[in-house]
Amino acid sequence: MSFNVDGVHPHDVGGRFNSSGIAGRTGVHCAASFMNSLGTLGSVGASFGVYNSMSEVELFIEPVWTMEKGFWSNEYPNDLLLPS
């Protein structure tokens, strides 16, 4: 699934996940023109499967609820990751 956290740059979300031991993907996911047409800088991607436990899902959700702006949100809040 792909998502954004309102007001937080996708790279800051990815960095928070990384520091929490969660692997995720950030960027435009080979769809720069589409992301630009949506007016978004990019998104965060995460994958779940039948093999994930509920405790793993909870580990994923916790950083989302406590997400804060970081370097990318403060230094590059409106810069496109890949200009079209």
The answer, yes or no, to whether residue 82 has pLDDT greater than 80, is no
Catalytic residue among 1, 6, 21, 30: 30
- Per-residue pLDDT of 41-65, as tens digits, reads 899 999 889 999 999 999 999 998 9
Using H for helix, E for strand and C for coil, what is the string for 6-54? CCECHHHHHHHHHHCCCCCEEECCCCHHHHHHHCCCCEEECCCCCCCCH
Does residue 84 lie in a domain region?
no
40 φ, ψ to 5°? -115, 155
The total number of structural domains that make up the chain: 1
Does residue 72 lie in a domain region?
no
Q: pTM to 2 decimals? A: 0.82
The answer, yes or no, to whether residue 67 has pLDDT greater than 60, is yes
* Known active-site residue 52: no
Domain that holds residue 55: 2-67
Which of 75, 73, 3, 1 has its CA nearest to residue 38? 3
Does residue 78 lie in a domain region?
no
- Per-residue pLDDT of 4-23, as tens digits, reads 999 999 999 999 999 988 88
Does residue 39 lie in a domain region?
yes
- pLDDT on residue 24: 87
Residue 39 sits in a domain whose CATH number is 3.90.1150.10
2 φ, ψ to 5°? -115, 145
